[in-house]
């Protein structure tokens, strides 16, 4: 047996992490490749032209952007407040923000049902007003926002945290109030992180299945339709819709990222 | 008075940061707020700028009480220790930022930006982004941005501390020149006494959250009001002594006596006093003993070559060490020497003020 050679020790410093990371990479790539290899055997165009598939695509395209918009509209101010204030109970609020990430989506959906289901006061009132909160597009949006909203909050919060508070103070001393300072300084400087959060939220919302299934099994979105077709026809049946979902996500993610990186903005 | 700080007190939790601080700045004056790190200087600046609400006390800008006003309602510009230029705006946009908050016409804003960029000699970099500038250039742009809205008071919070030495002196000169040219009332915060003495018309010396002395740099240097000012402004030797006779003053330093013929003390015999004298004022006496100046003897314990001079440390029999500056070749360590103490250069502090 050869003597132990210390010179060979230098390679493992890079080799070991690469090897371990590679195992996980393989685990990501292999199913992906295997699934895509199935696509040749099914007729994607025919699958997508079927009316149920088209309405699922339309529903997903209607709901996921709205859920993303709500999450951003309310989540970015929340992220800023969490990054800048130090109130008592802030830990608790942070816990609440990540709660939907910790709870399994299907349980989250059940929780939503207990809050806004058609036999709850809120659900009944909404139904009476002609806006049912379950088994409706509104229900889908509620489920998607519940599950996907935390992503934009957590990411934007990190982005605001990285903005030096003195830049905001300088803006105040130059004559701008808190809101104008947020708009002129904090928001543009945290833009990279916010865009990343928006992208994650959209990707999660458009693919949301567990909570959506509980709150609004109908009308079908792409993920719930995929489930229905899988039960009926197995893997081959879901290939067209799965590809459509993938395509939507890729297109939206790349577009938003490109829009978010205007040349005047320094990467956050 | 352009700026008046009166009875300012602030605490962080149970720790007092600033205790009953009052001072004021006349129109066009540049005042140095000087003190060691953690003495409360930054707390004072933040209170003046409105980024902090003090526990007690008032801030007046041009006679108006602004203590409860938010920062944007005060005309106080701040330049922080670390650069705060906006990376997503050009140099010109940064300087224009404070002008756009006020109701000023676009053409006038352009004019003012141009004027202020010329003031800092960076008119050619108007369209550059801060990331393209050097450290010193960034500081100058910040100065221009702070000055452009013509504030009542300019607050410079350790603007030179993060710079290396040559840049520091260059920027220090630039600040002095710009302050003279614009005549803006300026509070210059620093822990560096050389910066403070070079720039300021007057100094406010802080120690542990309270004011230790206010006067012109030279007056504070030559007749420090407290032992802290004596030791903080330039180097100082402190020797503990006991009054033997109040008039003419005779002091005992251990077994030795020091007679200061011109001086008298209002402290009675037996009282402790702390004597401060600058190393440059002390000399090593020639051994013939013909002169009549008061002297103390001790042994040379250590010699440091400073290039242009020597610092000779002399340990007295009381175990106190005094530093004597000397140009000529110093005696070697261990030599017994006599230190001449010029009576006029000795500042005495009674025991009751020594602690302050």
CB-based contact, A184 to chain B, within 8 Å: yes
Using an 8 Å CB-CB cutoff, list chain B residues near A166. Answer: 80, 82, 84
B207 and B275 co-located in one domain: no
Question: Confidence band (pLDDT; 50, 70, 90) for B329?
Answer: confident
Provide the pLDDT for residue B181. Answer: 92
| Cβ–Cβ gap B72/A189 under 8 Å | no
CB-based contact, A179 to chain B, within 8 Å: no
Provide the pLDDT for residue A263. Answer: 40
Mutation choice for B interface testing from A171, A175, A264 by most B CBs within 10 A: A175
**DSSP track, B45-74:** HHHHHTSS--SEEEEEETTEE-TTS-GGGS
Cβ atoms of A24 and A197 closer than 8 Å: no
Q: Which of the listed ranges A83-87, A229-233, B260-264 does the model predict with the highest average pLDDT? A: A229-233
Question: Confidence band (pLDDT; 50, 70, 90) for A41?
Answer: low
Residue B160 domain flag: yes
Residue B264 domain flag: yes
Using an 8 Å CB-CB cutoff, list chain A residues near B129. Answer: 266
Sorted by where each starts, the structural domains of chain A and their CATH numbers stand as: 46-259 (1.10.3720.10)
Mutation choice for A interface testing from B77, B86, B103 by most A CBs within 10 A: B86
Query: Predicted ipTM?
Result: 0.82
Rounded to the nearest angstrom, the minimum Cα separation between B154 and chain A is 11
Cβ atoms of B149 and A176 closer than 8 Å: no
* Inter-chain CB pairs, A–B, below 8 Å: 62
B71 and B209 co-located in one domain: yes
Cβ atoms of B315 and B299 closer than 8 Å: yes
Q: Which of B49, B77, B88 sits opposite A265 (nearest CB)?
A: B88
Rounded to the nearest angstrom, the minimum Cα separation between A90 and chain B is 19
Using an 8 Å CB-CB cutoff, list chain B residues near A185. Answer: 86
B268 and B137 co-located in one domain: no
Across chain B, mean pLDDT equals 89
Give mean pLDDT, residues B194-211.
92
Q: How many CB atoms lie within 10 A of CB A128?
A: 9
CA A204 to chain centre: 3
Q: Per-residue pLDDT tens for B298-314?
A: 999 989 998 889 999 99
B263 and B150 co-located in one domain: no
B96 and B202 co-located in one domain: yes
Mutation choice for A interface testing from B48, B78, B101 by most A CBs within 10 A: B101
Q: Is the pLDDT of residue B325 over 70?
A: yes
Question: Confidence band (pLDDT; 50, 70, 90) for A261?
Answer: low
B169 and B101 co-located in one domain: yes
Using an 8 Å CB-CB cutoff, list chain B residues near A190. Answer: none
Q: How far apart are the first and last CA of chain A?
A: 54
| Cβ–Cβ gap B98/A184 under 8 Å | no
B176 and B292 co-located in one domain: no
B319 and B265 co-located in one domain: yes
Residue B86 domain flag: yes
Torsional sign, CA B258, B264, B265, B270 = positive
Peptide bond into B345 cis (omega under 30): no
Q: Is the pLDDT of residue A267 over 50?
A: no
* Domain count along chain B: 2
| Cβ–Cβ gap B72/A176 under 8 Å | yes
Q: Per-residue pLDDT tens for B1-51?
A: 899 999 999 998 888 899 999 999 999 999 999 999 888 999 999 999 999
Q: What are the tokens at B284? A: 């090593």
B176 and B97 co-located in one domain: yes
Provide the pLDDT for residue A184. Answer: 96
Last residue of a domain, one of B231, B263, B294: B231
Q: What are the tokens at A116? A: 């806004």
| Cβ–Cβ gap B97/A184 under 8 Å | yes
Residue B153 domain flag: yes
CA angle B20, B26, B28 (to 5 degrees): 135
List of E strands, chain B: 3-12, 15-25, 30-34, 56-61, 64-65, 76-79, 153-157, 185-190, 202-207, 210-215, 237-245, 249-253, 256-260, 272-277, 283-284, 295-305, 310-315, 321-326, 336-340, 347-350
| Chain B residues whose C-beta sits inside 8 Å of any chain A C-beta | 49-51, 70-72, 74, 76-78, 80, 82, 84, 86-88, 97-98, 101-102, 129, 131, 145-146, 149
Rounded to the nearest angstrom, the minimum Cα separation between A194 and chain B is 16
Using an 8 Å CB-CB cutoff, list chain A residues near B82. Answer: 164, 166
B109 and B257 co-located in one domain: no
B47 and B139 co-located in one domain: yes
Distances (CA, A) of B182 to B24, B87, B282: 20, 27, 42
Q: What are the tokens at B168? A: 């520091």
| Cβ–Cβ gap A266/B88 under 8 Å | yes
B289 and B203 co-located in one domain: no
Return the residue of B nearest to A262 by Cα: B88
| Cβ–Cβ gap A173/B82 under 8 Å | no
In angstroms, the CA B222 to CA B195 distance is 18
Return the residue of B nearest to A164 by Cα: B84
CB-based contact, A166 to chain B, within 8 Å: yes
Rounded to the nearest angstrom, the minimum Cα separation between B122 and chain A is 21
Task: Return the bridge partners of B25, or none.
Answer: B3
| Cβ–Cβ gap A170/B78 under 8 Å | yes
Q: What is the CATH number of the domain that holds B334?
A: 2.40.50.140
Cβ atoms of B44 and B34 closer than 8 Å: no
Rounded to the nearest angstrom, the minimum Cα separation between A176 and chain B is 5
Last residue of a domain, one of B231, B265, B285: B231
Q: Per-residue pLDDT tens for A95-146?
A: 999 999 999 999 999 999 999 998 999 999 999 999 999 999 999 999 999 9
Q: Is the pLDDT of residue B278 over 60?
A: yes
Residue B356 domain flag: no
Range of the domain at B187: 3-231
| Cβ–Cβ gap B80/A185 under 8 Å | no
Residue closest to B300 by CA, chosen among B257, B254, B338: B338
Across chain A, mean pLDDT equals 89
Provide the pLDDT for residue B351. Answer: 55
Mutation choice for A interface testing from B50, B71, B77 by most A CBs within 10 A: B71
Residue B159 domain flag: yes
Pairing relationship of beta strands B283-284 and B272-277 according to DSSP bridges: unpaired
| Cβ–Cβ gap B78/A265 under 8 Å | no
Query: For every residue of A51-79, which 3-state class applies, written as one string?
Result: HHHHHHHHHHHHHHHHHHHHHHHHHHHHH
Last residue of a domain, one of B231, B251, B281: B231
Q: Which of B49, B86, B98 sits opposite A167 (nearest CB)?
A: B86
CB-based contact, A231 to chain B, within 8 Å: no
């Amino acid at each position: 047996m050869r003597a132990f050679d210390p010179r060979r020790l230098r390679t493992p410093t890079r080799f070991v992490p690469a090897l371990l990371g590679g195992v996980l990479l393989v685990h990501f790539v292999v199913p992906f490749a295997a699934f895509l290899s199935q696509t040749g055997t099914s007729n994607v165009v025919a699958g997508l032209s079927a009316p149920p598939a088209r309405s699922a695509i339309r529903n997903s395209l209607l709901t996921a952007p709205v859920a993303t918009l709500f999450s951003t509209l309310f989540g970015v101010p929340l992220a800023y407040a969490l990054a800048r204030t130090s109130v008592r109970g802030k830990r608790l609020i942070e816990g609440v923000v990540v709660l939907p990430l910790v709870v399994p989506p299907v349980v989250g959906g059940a929780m939503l049902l207990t809050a806004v289901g058609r036999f709850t006061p809120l659900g009944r009132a909404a139904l009476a007003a002609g806006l049912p909160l379950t088994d409706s597009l509104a229900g889908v949006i509620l489920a998607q926002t519940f599950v996907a909203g935390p992503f934009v909050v957590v990411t934007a919060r990190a982005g605001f945290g990285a903005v030096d508070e003195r830049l905001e103070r300088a803006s105040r001393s130059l004559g701008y109030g808190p809101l104008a300072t947020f708009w002129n300084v904090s928001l543009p400087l945290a833009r990279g992180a916010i865009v990343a959060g928006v992208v994650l939220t959209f990707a999660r919302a458009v693919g949301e299945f567990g909570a959506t299934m509980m709150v609004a099994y109908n009308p079908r979105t792409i993920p719930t339709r995929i489930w229905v077709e899988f039960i009926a026809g197995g893997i081959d049946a879901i290939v067209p819709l799965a590809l459509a979902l993938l395509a939507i996500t890729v297109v939206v993610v790349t577009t938003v990222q490109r829009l978010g990186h205007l040349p005047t903005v320094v990467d956050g | 008075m352009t700026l008046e700080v009166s009875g300012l007190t602030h605490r962080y939790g149970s720790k007092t940061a600033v205790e009953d601080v009052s001072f004021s700045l006349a129109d066009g004056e540049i005042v140095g707020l000087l003190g060691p790190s953690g003495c409360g200087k930054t707390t004072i600046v933040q209170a003046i700028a409105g980024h902090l609400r003090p526990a007690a006390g008032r801030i007046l800008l041009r006679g108006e009480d602004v203590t409860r006003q938010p920062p944007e309602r005060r005309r106080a510009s701040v330049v922080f220790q670390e650069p705060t230029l906006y990376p997503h705006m050009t140099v010109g946009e940064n300087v224009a930022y404070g002008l756009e908050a006020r109701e000023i016409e676009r053409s006038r804003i352009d004019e003012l930006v141009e004027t202020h960029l010329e003031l800092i000699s960076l008119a050619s970099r108007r369209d550059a982004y801060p990331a393209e500038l050097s450290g010193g250039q960034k500081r100058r742009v910040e100065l221009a941005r702070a000055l452009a809205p013509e504030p009542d008071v300019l607050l410079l919070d350790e603007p030179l501390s993060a710079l290396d030495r040559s840049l520091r002196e260059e920027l220090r000169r630039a600040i002095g020149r710009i302050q003279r040219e614009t005549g803006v009332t300026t509070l210059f915060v620093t822990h560096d006494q050389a910066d403070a003495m070079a720039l300021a018309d007057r100094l406010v010396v802080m120690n542990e959250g309270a004011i230790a002395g206010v006067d012109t740099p030279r007056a504070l240097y030559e007749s420090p009001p407290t032992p802290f000012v004596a030791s903080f402004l330039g180097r100082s030797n402190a020797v503990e002594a006991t009054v033997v006779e109040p008039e003419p003053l005779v002091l005992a330093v251990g077994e030795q006596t020091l007679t200061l013929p011109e001086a008298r003390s209002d402290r009675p015999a037996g009282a402790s006093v702390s004597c401060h004298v600058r190393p440059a004022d002390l000399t090593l006496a020639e051994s013939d003993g013909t002169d009549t100046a008061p002297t103390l003897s001790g042994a040379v314990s250590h010699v440091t070559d400073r290039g242009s001079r020597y610092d000779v440390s002399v340990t007295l029999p009381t175990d106190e060490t005094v530093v004597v500056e000397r140009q000529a070749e110093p005696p070697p360590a261990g030599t017994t020497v006599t230190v001449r103490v010029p009576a006029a250069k000795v500042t005495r502090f009674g025991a009751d003020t020594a602690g302050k």
